[in-house]
A and B are shown apart, each in its own frame.
Chain A
């Protein structure tokens, strides 16, 4: 309850100082422009001229000067004064009489009272009259309410309304009179005669007070210390006010209700009906809002309650950490003299201040919301986290400052929990910010990077690698080094195109000088080297990586994009030359050249095959069967896929090494099928492989070639030079081959080849197959011959048809198209005997003269 909404400023400190006698007390006042009218208990009316001086910001000082004193000579106090400046008149209630005075010379118009027997009267603050030189009043007399229009000259009676009890207070708005009778409040509409009882109260010790709030809404004092808002329809649409002290008088100055009690002026907000301020003021008698100026009187003195500018009130609320109230007040503030943009700017600033308050209280969610809606300069937020601002930033905190926070450590007194929460907040805040805009990217990115590094966030590497950051590289590097985020540090160096430094850092991680679990290992380093355009780095670190892992390390050559390989520094010969001390790397590199890049150079292919071979021999010596198998598979693959190697050289070596399978492949390559099959059958005894060899080799070749190869195989099986036991052994695969692939043999030749002592039943399947095949062939040939004959006949018929008719071309013949004679004897003829020049016959199937389409006939009778 400590909004400072109003401040006291003395207007008339004591009547006596201005020359009145000691018994004179102020009864009521009226203020109109610079003229202050004071009505006293001894029936005097005093006019003061006020001088308002602004001193400093929002400070006002009043000077008053007595201008005129009018003694009304009625021996009763002046109850009420109302000024009507447009009419130049004052309306005064004194001794139950209504007097009308000239505003300036205070002379009574007409010399005496206009109305008598009046208990109270009021001005209609919202009259339904068009004449600006006319006011409307309502007077209460006994059991009657009367409405009058007042002009400069006269009082015009408008309406009488009967009331059940005498009225002791009235207020008028439009056509509605709200009257406080002896025991109840009632609303009367003097246009429609509508009556609305509001509520009753006990007669004793209750002071009814009515104050118009807005159109057709009044604030009424109610029993039990309440202030009721009631509209002309008798409804309460706002919750009531609970007065802290017994109420004496009321005034309203948006958004505040001012209640005067004996000792205190209570200030309530109409927005939430809560008390906002209490100003001690003893002996208060009246309070009123006179054209926006609030004056309060005691018996002796007049004070002005000058409203504290809402900006200042907000400031006080914020200083008190009452954020919600401050924002509400600002939203409902009187924005006079401010453009929408100006207000928006100011409101944003308030939101920012409020956000910092939430921040200081550790309410980070609320703070973030307000920071965002108040479009705070993110640098303001970053700057309270020590060390996060890049030194290259030109930012200085706004003046006047938005907050009193030196930095977060001081703010939270080093409380680790709070600090880490604050960091989390900053983390989210900056991430959100980055998604929305790229303002102040330098500071935001730098700070975010540092936060990531500090909380060891997994996003750090991705953040740097995404390479959309604009941070202060040097500052960030220092920070990352300090935070031991070496991998990130290297990434940042690379992002800044400082490859030298990046590679150095990584090399240190690899060699164990630095420790960073986020680093992906040697492979990553090799990849980086391979991706670098400049080969100098590659050569610098080549030994470094290859000595660590040859197979991974060779990636610095093999992972490079293809077009670079041909650059001078990285010619395959140069590389191979360099690699010779790393045998494993050489193999990998050659594999890369031969298989991946398909470089057609004999030496690489042969070299690779020999390296495989050497390896096989080595592994075989070691007894590592598994490795041998693997290597032989690779070797075979190479031998089959490539045909660029030096076969003879390899063949010798294969035979030396007893690598029969490989030798067979090599024989196959040089078309020495008999040798190849010999190896497969005799050395390897792999009959299936022999058969597959035949099938694979003859694929896509002619029938004869096929026959030859299969006969070769059969001959290998049935070689009469073989000893008897072997022949027994090869009998069954030979038969199997014959029977299974009867179609691939020339039956006549086979019959010559097979030993005469074989029974028919042994080769029955083959014979049957062969018979069937040859029969099929015979029949197919017959069909073909018949079809060919048929085709021949058709063609001959077509020829006859074409030659059947003859046309004679005379000099008198003209082309149907161009109507010119045929000169060189060439012509075009359509089947309907239309003749044209060859050049005039645009369409071969549509007659140019009749338009007849010969398309369907064109194939049958070709020619024109």
Chain B
């Protein structure tokens, strides 16, 4: 399978709003559709049904003075739509990996969703793709909670260190912030792509002491 023209999508006219395709993934019932609806239309439906196929909404969001149009794809988790994943995932700019904090299985499956996304969306640089890990349903009581925030952070550290945020679509906690965070993370990585040599090259002008201190830190980190 040939590589899709992933980076080519971003060569847009600067005057127009940047259009970003955002895919929300995660086990059925973790609240993907609720998250999207809360973000786009700020309402919450206690008894929403399973998503059929895919749901899709647009919303403009302003980050650091620039307006982005988010094209949010809320894919169905069911098996019978699996064959359609490829066109849906492809060309995504941002992927939200969602789990419910009261559902350990959904958290365990994050790795599966991540791998599946990388495979079907044909993303080569999995470590640098802008994922966002979202733990939904933080409104549940602490007894019902099965996944702690620390645990989720630890998983993120091991998997390319994507940003992590805990939300509640029910009481609107952090929903707006989650999407903003995702776009910021995309913009950050995009800036790196535009200047591919920065970060990978050695800056000779950089002062010695700084290098040494960073060395010490990393050694310290390793021994722990």
Complex CA distance for A785 and B157, rounded to whole angstroms: 106
Known contacts A200-B83, A236-B87; A194 and B2 CB within 8 A of each other: yes
Structural contact, A201 and B56, CB atoms closer than 8 A: no
User: Which residues of A sit under 8 angstroms from B85, Cβ to Cβ?
Assistant: 199
Known: A233-B91, A239-B55, A242-B52. A199 touches B80 (CB 8 A): no
Any chain B CB within 8 A of the CB of A725? no
Q: Which chain B residues border A228 with CB–CB below 8 Å?
A: 84, 87
Task: Tell me if A240 and B86 are in contact (CB < 8 A).
Answer: no
Q: Using a CB-CB cutoff of 8 Å, which residues 178-200 of chain A contact chain B? A: 194-200
- Cβ–Cβ < 8 Å partners of A226 in chain B: 53, 84
Q: Report chain A residues within 8 Å CB of B90.
A: 233-236
* B81: interface (CB < 8 Å): yes
Question: Once the chains bind, are B53 and A198 in contact (CB under 8 Å)?
Answer: no
Contact B1 A195 (CB under 8 A): yes
Complex Cα distance, B80 from A236, in Å, reads 18
With A226-B53, A233-B90 in contact, is A196–B80 under 8 Å at CB? Answer: no
Which of A222, A224, A233 is in CB contact (< 8 Å) with B5? A233
Closest residue of B by beta carbon distance from A201: B83
A235-B90, A235-B91, A240-B53 given as contacts; is B84 within 8 A of A195 (CB)? Answer: no
Check A234 against B87 for contact (C-beta < 8 Å). Answer: yes
B83:A237 contact, CB within 8 angstroms = no
B160 at the interface (CB under 8 A from A): no
Q: In whole angstroms, what is the CA distance A196 to B5 when docked?
A: 11
Overall SS of chain B's interface = mixed
Q: Which residue of A lies closest to B80 (CB)?
A: A224
List A contacts of B53 (CB < 8 A).
224, 226, 240, 242
Interface residues of B in 65-93 (CB under 8 A from A): 71, 73, 80-81, 83-88, 90-91
Q: Chain A residues near B63 (CB, 8 Å)?
A: none
A230 located at the interface, meaning its Cβ lies under 8 Å from any Cβ of chain B in the complex: yes
Given A239-B54, A240-B53, CB of A199 within 8 Å of CB of B86: yes
Query: Is A223 interfacial (CB 8 A cutoff)?
Result: yes
The answer to whether B81 and A197 have CB atoms under 8 Å apart is no
For the complex, give the distance between the alpha carbons of A230 and B87 in Å. Answer: 7
Q: Closest Cβ of chain B: how far from A752's Cβ, in Å?
A: 97
Q: How far is the CB of A478 from chain B (nearest CB, A)?
A: 50
Closest to A272 in B: B56
CB distance from A264 to the nearest CB of B (A): 20
Chain B, 1-52, CB within 8 A of any chain A CB = 1-2, 4-5, 21, 52
- What total of A-B pairs shows CB separation below 8 Å? 61
With a CB–CB cut-off of 8 A, which chain B residues contact A200? 83
- Whether A199 contacts B4 in the complex (CB less than 8 A), given A234-B90, A235-B91, comes out as no
Partner of B4, one of A235, A237, A273: A235
Q: Does B1 contact A197, Cβ atoms closer than 8 Å?
A: yes
Task: Name the B residues within 8 Å of A194 (CB-CB).
Answer: 2
Give CA–CA (A224, B83) in the complex, Å: 10
A273→B73 CA distance, assembly (Å)? 14
Distance A239 CA – B23 CA, assembled complex (angstroms): 12
Bound-complex Cα distance A194 to B4 (A): 10
Query: B81 touches which one: A195, A224, A236, A237 (CB < 8 A)?
Result: A224
CA distance A857 to B61 in the complex (A): 84
**Closest residue of B by beta carbon distance from A238:** B56
CB-based contact B54/A240 at 8 Å: yes
Chain B residue with the shortest CB-CB distance to A193: B2
In the complex, the answer to whether A235 meets B87 with C-beta atoms within 8 Å is yes
Residues of the A chain whose Cβ atoms lie less than 8 Å from the Cβ of B2: 194-196
B4 cross-chain contacts in A, Cβ below 8 A: 196, 233-235
Q: How far is the CA of A223 from the CA of B87 in the complex (A)?
A: 13
**Listed residue (B55, B71, B85, B87) with the most chain A CB atoms within 10 angstroms of its CB:** B87
User: Within the assembled complex, what's the spacing in Å between the Cα atoms of A198 and B86?
Assistant: 7
B73: nearest chain-A partner, CB-CB: A239
- Which residue in chain B gives the minimum CB-CB distance to A189? B2
Instruction: Please measure, in the bound complex, the distance between the C-alpha atom of A8 and the C-alpha atom of B4, giving whole angstroms.
Output: 43
**B residues in contact with A235, CB < 8 Å:** 4, 87, 90-91
Give the contacts of A551-600 with B (CB-CB under 8 A).
none
In the assembled complex, the Cα of A200 lies from the Cα of B86 at a distance in Å of 10
- In the assembled complex, which residues on chain A have CB atoms less than 8 Å from the CB atom of B84? 199, 222-223, 226, 228, 240
Contacts of B80 in A (CB 8 A): 223-224
- Contact present for A198 and B55 (CB under 8 Å): no
Q: Is the CB of B56 within 8 A of A239?
A: yes
The residues of B that contact A233 with a CB separation of less than 8 Å are 4-5, 90-91
Give Cα distance in the complex from A242 to B71, angstroms. 19
Complex interface: chain A residues within 8 A of B54 (CB): 239-240
A198 touches B87 (CB 8 A): yes
A206 vs B83: C-alpha distance in the bound complex, in angstroms? 14
Instruction: Please state if B86 and A197 are interface contacts (CB–CB under 8 Å).
Output: yes
When distances are taken between beta carbons in the complex, the residues of chain A under 8 Å from B88 are 236
Among A195, A234, A239, point to the contact of B86 (Cβ < 8 A).
A234
CB distance from B76 to the nearest CB of A (A): 9
Q: How far is the CA of A194 from the CA of B3 in the complex (A)?
A: 10
- Distance (Å) between the CB of A201 and the closest chain B CB? 6
Bound complex: CA A273 to CA B54 (Å): 12
| Chain B nearest Cβ from A191, distance in angstroms | 14
CB distance from A454 to the nearest CB of B (A): 38
Name the distance in Å between A206's Cβ and chain B's nearest Cβ: 11
A196 → chain B closest CB, angstroms: 7
CA distance A235 to B5 in the complex (A): 10
CA distance A226 to B87 in the complex (A): 13
Instruction: Give CA–CA (A197, B85) in the complex, Å.
Output: 12
How far is A230 from B89 in the complex, measured between Cα atoms in Å?
11
From 8 to 51 in chain A, residues with beta carbon under 8 angstroms from any chain B beta carbon are none
Nearest A residue to B81 via CB reads: A224
B-chain residues with CB within 8 Å of residue A196 when the two chains form the complex: 1-2, 4
Q: In the complex, A236 Cα to B88 Cα: how many Å? A: 5
CB A272 to nearest CB in B, in angstroms, measures: 10
Q: In the assembled complex, which residues on chain A have CB atoms less than 8 Å from the CB atom of B83?
A: 199-201, 222-223
Once the chains are docked, how many angstroms separate the CA of A258 from the CA of B85?
Answer: 25
Residue of B nearest to A241 (CB): B53
Nearest residue, chain B, Cβ from A197:
B1
Most buried by A among B54, B84, B88, B90: B84
Q: Which of A199, A201, A224, A242 contacts B87 (CB 8 A)?
A: A199
CB distance from B69 to the nearest CB of A (A): 13
A contact residues around B73 at 8 Å (CB): 239
A320→B201 CA distance, assembly (Å): 65
Q: Specify which chain A residues have a CB less than 8 angstroms from the CB of B71 in the assembled complex.
A: 237
With A and B bound together, what is the CA distance between A235 and B87 in angstroms?
A: 4
Task: Determine the residue in chain A with the shortest Cβ distance to B56.
Answer: A239
Q: Within the complex, what minimum Cβ distance (angstroms) separates A209 from chain B? A: 15
Closest chain A CB from B142 CB (angstroms): 38
Interface residues of A in 240-277 (CB under 8 A from B): 240, 242, 273
Contacting residues, chain B, for A195 (C-beta < 8 A) = 1-2
Which residues 517-573 of A have a CB within 8 angstroms of B? Answer: none
Distance in Å: Cβ of A193 to nearest Cβ of chain B: 9
Chain A residues with CB under 8 Å of chain B are: 194-201, 222-224, 226, 228, 230, 233-237, 239-240, 242, 273
Given A194-B2, A199-B83, A223-B81, 15 further pairs, Cβ under 8 A? A198-B86, A228-B84, A234-B90, A235-B90, A235-B91, A236-B87, A236-B88, A237-B71, A239-B54, A239-B55, A239-B56, A239-B73, A240-B53, A240-B84, A242-B53
19 example contacts (A-B, Cβ-Cβ < 8 A) are as follows A195-B1, A200-B83, A222-B84, A223-B80, A223-B83, A224-B52, A224-B53, A224-B81, A226-B84, A233-B4, A233-B90, A234-B87, A236-B87, A236-B88, A237-B21, A237-B71, A237-B91, A239-B55, A273-B56
Binding site for A on B (CB under 8 A): 1-2, 4-5, 21, 52-56, 71, 73, 80-81, 83-88, 90-91
Across the A-B interface, give the 10 residue pairs with the lowest CB-CB distance, nearest first: A239-B56, A235-B91, A236-B87, A235-B90, A200-B83, A199-B83, A230-B87, A234-B90, A226-B53, A199-B86
